[in-house]
Amino acid sequence: MVLLGYEWSGNTGGGGDHNVYYRTPGQPIVDSCHALIPDTSTVASDRYPVAALYEELRQRDGIAIPYVGGRRADLAQHDPEVVPAVEI
Single-letter code of the amino acid located at 86: V
Could you give the CA distance from residue 73 to residue 59 in angstroms, rounded to a whole number?
A: 22
Domain boundaries, the chain: 5-77
* pTM for the whole structure: 0.90
Q: Which pLDDT score, from 0 to 100, does residue 67 have?
A: 92
The model's pLDDT over 11-60, given as tens digits with 9 standing for 90+, comes to: 999 999 999 999 998 999 999 998 878 889 989 999 999 999 999 999 99
- The CA-atom distances, in angstroms, between 39 and each of 20, 35, 36 are 21, 10, 9
* C-beta of residue 87 within 8 angstroms of C-beta of residue 65: yes
Q: Which pLDDT score, from 0 to 100, does residue 5 have?
A: 93
Q: Which pLDDT score, from 0 to 100, does residue 29 have?
A: 93
Q: Which pLDDT score, from 0 to 100, does residue 79 have?
A: 96
